Structure 1
């Protein structure tokens, strides 16, 4: 217990769980065969996506929400491998080789790292059709005075507070994390795995994360951004409330349609 990050011992995981089962092809209520994978962020849990999962299942989508990386505090490389194995299992269960991704915060960075990893495979096991990254930390966490201090001593304070995942995301922002080389992007664009419809849902009032990066842009030049405040008629939503906000859920549902 004492080796776990401090904040995982203070804040319990979100207790909510989706109440609706996934639709079944046999029952005739499956409207889109492509499964949706919903990824939570750092210090979070699958329960945060319960309202979205129930809403999408009521509309005929199968939704899967993995618990990964000890509430998203593990090293990025370990969480990427864990999420990849989980999606492989979903694809086997659903007989699908394509998935849609909805990701919040660190989940957006994991989706990007996994997509570049898949694109480099000689045999693509599955691909992304659409990715909706909601305030994703694709470019890491914002380098404020506090986050810079947490990054001291190779990220030791960050690991103590929120695990290796926070230390890694600080390193991403500082250019100290080994990301896929940008010069590998052009030849990957011809590959199926390298052409998802990537949508970044961003907020001008969310200063916790860096939602995009030059490296990501080199791989996904056709990505597009949706400004939360524009879609919500000027209203902003705090980073930690976005997954359960009814209007954000409605926006994600529209973008997935």
Structure 2
């Protein structure tokens, strides 16, 4: 039986690389987790258990991404425990602060917020040992991850992106954005106070770049869940995506009596049941007016 070669017999360069990587790997992983924890939303039931390890049935952690003006704590008190109770490792961040602006979050430029999401995902992957995450986002939180996926390396780290009322192609704000555009300087004022708001106006440079060449990126599955009663991201069909691996769902096609609008869709049991089905298709139960989470 051949003798096992000792480390001493390896080429010197290879041994140096091996030792160097062993020395650096733990601190790099620890730093990634620490950076992600700094972005974690506090007090979200069922979320941000950094000792959670994905099980075979749900191998990808779920990252929850809140909408404009909100934060992870107020956006996900219903969705996070519902996902955790089904065996998912769940993580929620708060992103998009602007210096000098208290309370309001997700108002920074979308590109900056996408970089924060990248940091958070890296930490979640380092903590859980998973190779990919699933993302569930509301409003801006359903659109902004597409920037991460397309421009910041997220395509290799995201398996499924579910958008609840996402601002994928911008909004007219029921016509208000169009009216503001007709007044010289009005959109500049909006951009100064809330860069993310200006980024989400239909036809913005950010959205033009994001949607150029197609809505989707290969290797990622996309689901959009919209409501006909959305008065914020308008028209509501602008939320839908085109391309391969896309599924567009109108909430009222699942339950005609559901009256949830833009904000409430993140708390709606019908919408969340469809989210659970999307993330666990092998055990999906058809969503209808009697579905619960």
User: Matches of 1:74 and 1:240 in 2, distance apart?
Assistant: 20
Which residue is equivalent to 1:68? 95
Stretch of structure 1 that moved more, 140-149 or 69-78: 140-149
Which residue is equivalent to 2:29? none
Is residue 140 from structure 1 mapped to residue 165 from structure 2 by the alignment? no
SS of the aligned residue for 1:198 comes to strand
Structure 1 unmatched ranges of 5 or more: 1-13
User: Matches of 2:239 and 2:164 in 1, distance apart?
Assistant: 18
User: Matches of 2:250 and 2:211 in 1, distance apart?
Assistant: 28
Kept in 2, the 8 Å contact 1:159–1:166? The answer is: yes
Given the two structures, how large is their TM-score scaled by the length of structure 2? 0.67
- 2:142 paired residue among 108, 122, 125: 108
Is residue 164 from structure 1 mapped to residue 195 from structure 2 by the alignment? yes
Deviation at 1:109, TM superposition (A): 1.2
When the two chains are superposed, the root-mean-square deviation of aligned CA atoms in Å is 3.1
Given the two structures, how large is their TM-score scaled by the length of structure 1? 0.76
Distance 1:181 1:156, change over 3 A: closer
Which residue is equivalent to 2:72? 46
Q: Which of 1 and 2 has greater Rg?
A: 2
SS of the aligned residue for 1:74 comes to coil
Deviation at 1:233, TM superposition (A): 3.4
Q: Give runs of aligned pairs for residues 89-238 of structure 1, distance below 5 A.
A: 89-118=123-152, 121=153, 126-142=156-172, 144-151=174-181, 152=183, 153=185, 155-159=187-191, 163-170=194-201, 173-177=202-206, 178-180=208-210, 182-183=212-213, 194-210=218-234, 217=242, 220-238=243-261
Higher relative contact order (CA 8 A, sep 6+): 1
Distance 1:242 1:224, change over 3 A: same
Deviation at 1:75, TM superposition (A): 0.7
Stretch of structure 1 that moved more, 242-251 or 49-58: 242-251
Stretch of structure 1 that moved more, 124-133 or 109-118: 124-133
The Cα offsets for residues 102-144 of structure 1, whole Å up to 9 and x where unpaired, read as 01110111121111114xx5xx784221111111001011254
Which residue is equivalent to 1:8? none
Which residue is equivalent to 2:6? none
Kept in 2, the 8 Å contact 1:37–1:101? The answer is: yes
Distance 1:202 1:179, change over 3 A: same
Which residue is equivalent to 1:240? 263
Deviation at 1:212, TM superposition (A): 6.6
Deviation at 1:20, TM superposition (A): 6.5
Say how many residue pairs are matched: 227
